[in-house]
């Protein structure tokens, strides 16, 4: 994996020296729905064999590989009283009886299959999970008015997010930490912020209030980065975020008096994010080429199952800045709408992926909107896709994927750009959310 660096943005709308204005381009039409490639074949069935109720009744243990409600089973008792069946298997509690004598029963979460097998031994005829169903759609377009005007060409045209959102819009329990300049209120973001009481979220000033009030042009950078990752979406207001659900945890590492960021504060913020249960950490900041003291925290976080994503840097030179340069971090560079490397995006062997990073719609202070350019905004694109993948993986397999699994999935499904294979300007290529959600080799084996 690879690295990141500082921020190089230009003025637009409100953030002088931070956000870069640009003309709005007409977005391309959404890609056609992907097909499975299955070929219709004749069968031997007739109308009689297809009649309702004509199929054989199944018996035994159902398939537990599909998503289901944790801690619940549906049981056909076959003459055994519910209380009697429950008495034979520890940890099983009848909840209600459905039509046909099917019992809905509570079992310890994580023990669904084991308890199902025990119930069969205790006399049940059939046991299955309480399956989760979803609408059968191939894509979802959010109703945020600025999405179609400013975002669709990037989020869907380049990254295929509408197809990905049809699979997952995020896990409500997933915590995504943004280690940056801190929190700011915004009508299109307030429902996403996660600010646990009594926790010192302002690491730089050692207090619980992470409000971004630094006296510099970087004020609002944390809000802008967080909005790319998770602005409130499908709420008929403003812009869309890459993730629609989950908790965005602001950790302020910029000192209020002068905006200073240090190794110590960033390392402490990473540690605090892990202690608060974050599964993804975005770092749209950068410094030297190496930082062994910070590496201790990054390596520890990754070892505890946390996915770290950072911006590659905006110098337009060879050399990925730290922390994106760290082997514990997914390093992200920037491309434009034509899938060409942004002139400001740094190059290096440590670069892993690229994402849209020019003229990105973001939230600004005082309930405003603007456009910004920089690897600072490409990084949360990738962090958001990682969060969507992790959410879909957990929904299917009942546990979170490891950082290695996330890295393998995103890298193997990326759209190769530039020189064939991995290269210093594009890494493994452009992150593709649609491919991530459809891949059965590296993402959902």
Query: Can 180 be counted among the known catalytic residues?
Result: yes
Interacting residues of 347 by C-beta distance below 8 A, sequence separation 6+ = 317, 318, 319, 320, 333, 341, 424, 425
Query: Can 376 be counted among the known catalytic residues?
Result: yes
Which phi and psi angles does 134 have, rounded to 5°? Answer: -135, 155
DSSP 99: G
Catalytic residue among 171, 180, 291, 434: 180
Q: What's the distance, CA 404 to chain centroid?
A: 15
What residue ranges in 7-88 does DSSP mark as E strands?
60-61, 68-76
Interacting residues of 388 by C-beta distance below 8 A, sequence separation 6+ = 164, 165, 167, 168, 169, 170, 242, 243, 433, 436, 437
Question: What distances in angstroms separate CA 270 from CA 72, 264, 300, one per listed residue?
Answer: 36, 10, 9
**Tokens 């069969």 — which residue?**
120
Here the tokens at position 55 are 């199929």
Sheet containing 353-356: order of strands: 247-252, 175-180, 280-283, 307-311, 329-335, 353-356
Query: Can 148 be counted among the known catalytic residues?
Result: no
Indicate the pairing of strand 360-364 with strand 368-372: antiparallel
**Tokens 């646990």 — which residue?**
196
Catalytic residue among 376, 379, 391, 434: 376
Q: What's the distance, CA 223 to chain centroid?
A: 17
Catalytic residue among 139, 168, 188, 221: 221
Any idea which residues carry the catalytic annotation? 180, 221, 376
């Amino acid at each position: 994996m690879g690295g990141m660096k500082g921020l190089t943005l230009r003025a637009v709308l409100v953030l002088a020296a931070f956000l870069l204005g640009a003309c709005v381009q007409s977005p391309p039409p959404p890609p056609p729905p992907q097909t499975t490639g299955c070929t219709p074949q004749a069968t031997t069935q007739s109308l009689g064999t297809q009649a309702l109720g004509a199929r054989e009744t199944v018996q035994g243990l159902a398939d537990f590989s599909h998503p289901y409600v944790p801690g619940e089973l549906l049981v056909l008792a076959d003459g055994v009283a519910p209380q009697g069946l429950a008495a034979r298997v520890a940890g099983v509690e009848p909840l209600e009886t459905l039509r046909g004598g099917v019992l809905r029963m509570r079992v310890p979460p994580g023990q669904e299959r084991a308890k199902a097998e025990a119930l069969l031994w205790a006399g049940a005829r059939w046991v299955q999970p309480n399956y989760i169903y979803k609408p059968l759609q191939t894509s979802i377009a959010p109703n945020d008015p600025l999405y179609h005007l400013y975002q669709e060409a990037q989020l869907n045209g380049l990254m295929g997010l509408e197809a990905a959102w049809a699979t997952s819009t995020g896990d409500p329990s997933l915590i995504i930490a943004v280690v940056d300049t801190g929190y700011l209120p915004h009508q299109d973001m307030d429902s996403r912020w996660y600010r646990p009481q009594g926790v010192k979220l302002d690491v730089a000033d050692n207090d619980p209030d992470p409000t971004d009030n630094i006296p510099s042009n970087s004020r609002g950078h944390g809000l802008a980065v967080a909005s790319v990752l998770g602005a409130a979406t499908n709420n008929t207001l403003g812009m869309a975020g890459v993730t629609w659900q989950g908790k965005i945890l602001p950790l302020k590492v910029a000192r209020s008096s002068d905006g200073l960021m240090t190794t110590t504060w960033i390392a402490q913020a990473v540690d605090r994010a892990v202690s608060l249960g974050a599964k993804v950490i975005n770092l749209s900041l950068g410094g030297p080429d190496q930082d062994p003291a910070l590496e201790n925290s990054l390596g520890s976080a990754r070892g505890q199952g946390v996915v770290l994503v950072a911006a590659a840097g905006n110098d337009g030179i060879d050399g990925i800045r730290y922390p994106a340069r760290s082997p514990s971090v997914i390093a992200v560079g920037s491309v434009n709408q034509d899938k060409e490397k942004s002139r400001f995006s740094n190059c290096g062997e440590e670069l892993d992926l690229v994402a849209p990073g020019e003229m990105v719609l973001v939230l600004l202070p005082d309930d405003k909107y603007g456009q910004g350019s920089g690897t600072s905004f490409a990084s949360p694109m990738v962090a958001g896709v990682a969060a969507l993948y992790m959410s879909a993986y957990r929904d299917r397999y009942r546990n979170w994927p490891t950082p290695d699994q996330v890295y393998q999935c995103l890298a193997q499904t990326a759209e190769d750009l530039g020189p064939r294979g991995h290269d210093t300007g594009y890494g493994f290529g452009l992150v593709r959310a649609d491919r991530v959600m459809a891949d059965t080799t590296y993402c959902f084996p």
